[in-house]
Structure 1
Amino acid sequence: MASGGGFTPPGPADFDLPPIFGEVTKPMVMIVLSAVLIFALTYAMSRRAAVVPGRLQFAGEFVYGGVRNSIARDSIGSEHFMKFVPYLFTLFLFVLVNNYFGMIPLVQFPTFSHSGYAYGLAALSWLLYNGAGMWKHGVWGYIKHTTVPGGVGGPVLALIIPLEFLSNIVVRPVTLALRLFANMFAGHLLLILFALGGEYLLFEASSSLMNIFGGVMSFVMFFAVSALELLVMFLQAYVFTLLTAMYVAGAVAEDH
C-alpha cells in the first residue's frame, strides 16, 4: 500500500469493507455461510451414524465429545451440563469456522475482527447464563446469588454488592467479546502488515540489499504469524466456549 511514493501502514480502516451488494457486506455473508457450513457438516457427520464410525463420523464425535466432556461436564457438573451441550457445541464450531475464514484464500477475513459480531455473540452467552441462573434460583434469588458472596455480611456489603454486580453482570460479556475481537483484529492486522510491507519492499521500494532482505523477512514473518494464528484461532474458540460454560456453572451453582 503506497501513498505518494511511500508506504502507508494498514489500520482499522482496512477492516471497513465496502458492501458486496446493497447494504450487504462480506462479514454478513460469512456469518450466514458459516451457519450453512456447520449445519451441512454436522448433518453429513451424523447422517449415516454407525456403531463403528467412519472418518467423518469419528471427527464429529471427537469434537462433540471434547466439548461435552472437557468443557461442559467438567465446568458445569454432571447434574445440569447436558442442557447446555447443544449451545456450547454450536458456539465452539461457530467461532472456530468464522475465525478460520481468516486463513482461507479468497475469503481471508476473520468475521470476529468486527467487534459488533463478537459483542452480539457475547450477548447470547450473557442471556444464557443469566437465564440459567434465574431458572435455578429465581430472579431475586439469582441477583442475590450473584452479588452477595457467601459468608460476607455487614456494612462491607454496601461496597461488595455493586462491585459484584458490575463484575458478574455488566463486565463479563464485554471482556468475553473483547478478548475474541482483539485477538482476531490484531492477528489479521499483523498479516496485512507483513504481506503489504513485503510486497512494497520487494516490488515498489528501491532495490537495495536492505530492502530486499526486509521484504523477504516480511514474508517469512507473514508465514510464521499465519502458523501462529491457526493456533490462536482455535484457542479463542475454545476459550470463548469454556468461559461461557464457566459462567453457566457459576450461575447454577448452589454457592456463590
Structure 2
Amino acid sequence: MNLLVPAADGDGTFHGPTIDEFFPPVLFFEGTPFEINRIMLVRFVAVIVLLVLFWIGTRKMRVVPGRFQSLVEMGLDFVRVNLAFDLLGKKDGRRFLPLLTTIFFMVLFMNLTGVVPFLNVAGTSVVGTPMLLAAVAYVAFIYAGVKKHPAGFFRNALFPAGVPWPFYVLITPIEFFSTFVLRPVTLVLRLTFNMISGHLLLSLFFGATTFFFFTAPGFFKLLGVGTLAFGFVFTLFEVLVAALQAYIFAILTTVYIQLALAEEH
C-alpha cells in the first residue's frame, strides 16, 4: 500500500490526503500484540539502514579515513561537539553521549523515510515512536537530576529558592506541570505534527500532479507542471525539516539534562 493517496476515484474527481493514511491495514500478525503495518516496516527499514551504515563506517577504522568513514565521523562529531560537550561539558557529555547520539540519528533516519521513494512516510509520523523517545529523554532527565542531587532535585524543581512561602501554592503546581508534564509532551507533539503535516503536503502535491497529468481534461493538464514543481520544492524543504527536528529533539533532551545537573539543584 502506497501512502501517497490516489489522485482520483472512479468518479474522476480529485481526493486529497487524509489522516487515515497514518492507520494502514495490518500486514503481519494481525490480532496479536505484535501487529506490523506498513509504518512499522518503515521503522524497521530505517533502523536496519542506520545500523548497517554505522557498521560499515566504523568496522575498519583508519588513521587517515576514507570518504565514508569521514562522513560517519562528521556525524558523530556533530553530536559530540555541538550537543554533548558544548552543553554538558566533557565529563557529563561523555556519560550521555551514547544516548544523545542514538536519539539524534534515530529521529533523523526515521524522519527522512518520509521523502524516500516507495517508503513515503516518516517513521515518526505516528505518535508511538516520538512517545518512546520522549520517555527515554524524560527518564534520562530525571536520572541525571537524582544522580547529581539525590536529596534536593525534586525539592528545588518544585520549590524554587527565593520565593516567599505563601506563593508556593501557586508556583509549585506550575513548576510541576512545566517541568514534569509539559516537557515530554511538547517533545512528542512537535515532532509528530511536523512529520504529519509534511507528509500530507507532499501527498497533496504529488497526488494533484497525478490527477492533472492523467485525469484532468485539456488545458488543466498543464497545472500538473506547477504541482510537480511545488512537490519537488517541498521535498527539499521536508529534508531540511527532518534534519532540523532531529536536532531540536536532541538539543532539547541535552538542555533538560543540563538543567537537571545545574548547581542550583
Bucket of the pairwise TM-score, normalised by the shorter protein: over 0.9
Q: In the alignment, what sits opposite 2:167?
A: 156
Give, in whole Å, the separation in 2 of the partners of 1:143 and 1:80. Answer: 20
Note the alpha carbon deviations across 1:10-45, whole angstroms, 9 max, x for none. 110122112222221122223233332222222222
* Counterpart pick for 1:14 among 11, 16, 21: 21
Q: 1:108 and 2:117 equivalent?
A: no
Q: Is the 8 A contact 1:10 1:193 kept in 2?
A: yes
- One-letter amino acid of the structure 2 residue matched with residue 133 of structure 1: G
Find runs of 4+ consecutive structure 1 residues off by over 6 angstroms.
Answer: none
Q: 1:67 and 2:113 equivalent?
A: no
Matches for 1:33-44 after TM superposition, within 5 Å? 33-44=45-56
Change (3 A) 1:150 1:77: farther
Q: In the alignment, what sits opposite 2:90?
A: 78
Q: 1:223 and 2:232 equivalent?
A: yes
Cα distance, 1:147 vs structure 2: 2.0
Q: In the alignment, what sits opposite 2:32?
A: none
The residue matched to 1:108 in structure 2 has which SS?
Answer: coil
Gap regions ≥5 residues in structure 1: none
Gap regions ≥5 residues in structure 2: 1-6, 30-34
Change (3 A) 1:57 1:235: same
Q: 1:244 and 2:253 equivalent?
A: yes
Cα distance, 1:169 vs structure 2: 0.3
Note the alpha carbon deviations across 1:39-75, whole angstroms, 9 max, x for none. 2222222211122112122112111111011011112
Cα distance, 1:82 vs structure 2: 0.9
The residue matched to 1:6 in structure 2 has which SS?
Answer: coil
The alignment-based identity, stated in percent, is 36
Q: Is the 8 A contact 1:77 1:249 kept in 2?
A: no
Q: In the alignment, what sits opposite 1:5?
A: 12
Q: Is the 8 A contact 1:194 1:222 kept in 2?
A: yes
Matches for 1:32-181 after TM superposition, within 5 Å? 32-138=44-150, 141-181=152-192
Cα distance, 1:213 vs structure 2: 3.7
Larger helix proportion of the pair? 1
TM-score when normalising by structure 2: 0.90
Give, in whole Å, the separation in 1 of the partners of 2:89 and 2:173. Answer: 28
- One-letter amino acid of the structure 2 residue matched with residue 251 of structure 1: A
Give, in whole Å, the separation in 2 of the partners of 1:73 and 1:165. Answer: 28
Give, in whole Å, the separation in 2 of the partners of 1:194 and 1:75. Answer: 40
Q: In the alignment, what sits opposite 2:3?
A: none
Aligned length: 253
When structure 1 is superposed on structure 2, of 214-223 and 242-251 the one drifting more is 214-223
Change (3 A) 1:105 1:161: same
